[in-house]
Amino acid sequence: MYKIMMFSGGVYKFNELKELTQDIGGFILQEMVMQMETMLHLAFPAEEEKVIRNKVKEIGGKLIELPLAGAEIMIVVPSLGRHHAVNPMCDVAEFLRRKGAITNMMGLSRGVGKRIAQMTVEEKRIIEECDAAVFIFGNFRECIEDKARLCEGLEIPYIIAGGPPELDIPHYVGNIGRRTERMKRKHEIESLEKMAEALRTELDVRRREIEEDPLATSPLFLKELIDMTIPPKPGEEFSTIIHLDGLRVKLEPGEEKIIRDIEIQNRKLSEICEIRKSLYEGYLLKILPEAETGSVF
Where does this chain bind other proteins (CB under 8 A)? 78-79, 81-84, 112-117, 138-143, 163-165, 177-181
The C-alpha atoms of residue 144 and residue 138 are separated, in whole angstroms, by 7
Please state the closest distance from residue 136 (CB atom) to other proteins, in A: 13
Please state the closest distance from residue 164 (CB atom) to other proteins, in A: 5
- What amino acid occupies position 164? P
By beta-carbon proximity to other proteins, the closer residue of 78 and 219 is 78
CA within 13 Å, CB half, 55: 20
Please state the closest distance from residue 152 (CB atom) to other proteins, in A: 19
104 with 73: CB under 8 angstroms?
Answer: yes
The C-alpha atoms of residue 270 and residue 259 are separated, in whole angstroms, by 8
Query: Which are the contacts of 91, defined by CB distance < 8 A and separation ≥ 6?
Result: 182, 183, 188, 192
Sheet with 72-77, side-by-side order of all strands: 102-107, 72-77, 132-136, 158-161, 172-173
CA angle 26, 62, 15 (to 5 degrees): 50
Please state the closest distance from residue 189 (CB atom) to other proteins, in A: 18
By beta-carbon proximity to other proteins, the closer residue of 113 and 153 is 113
Please state the closest distance from residue 175 (CB atom) to other proteins, in A: 9
By beta-carbon proximity to other proteins, the closer residue of 70 and 138 is 138
| Count of Cβ atoms closer than 10 Å to residue 165 Cβ | 10
The C-alpha atoms of residue 111 and residue 120 are separated, in whole angstroms, by 9
By beta-carbon proximity to other proteins, the closer residue of 140 and 280 is 140
By beta-carbon proximity to other proteins, the closer residue of 192 and 249 is 192
By beta-carbon proximity to other proteins, the closer residue of 29 and 148 is 148
Please state the closest distance from residue 151 (CB atom) to other proteins, in A: 17
